[in-house]
Amino acid sequence: MPKGTVKWFNRVKGFGFIEKEDGNDVFVHKSDVDSGTLNEGDEVEFELGEAPDGRACAISVSKVE
């Protein structure tokens, strides 16, 4: 399961970006976050999925303890 760090997350709009270990960013939506929200700097694990527009996105996102 890939890991990364939350680059930023807008709680009002409900989305943000995770920086993957390889340095690339991936989109994340609040509906794919197990805890419902994320904070900048959170370490997370996730699976890669595909957004409706065809871009990669993070799904099944959970914080790493």
What domains can be seen in the chain, in order of their start residue? Answer: 3-63 (2.40.50.140)
Please state, as a whole number, how many other Cβ atoms lie within 10 Å of the Cβ of residue 25.
Answer: 15
Chain Cα centroid distance, residue 49: 11
The answer, yes or no, to whether residue 65 has pLDDT greater than 90, is: no
- The pLDDT of residue 26 is 98
**Tens-place pLDDT, residues 29-38:** 999 999 888 9
**Tens-place pLDDT, residues 3-29:** 999 999 999 999 999 999 999 999 999
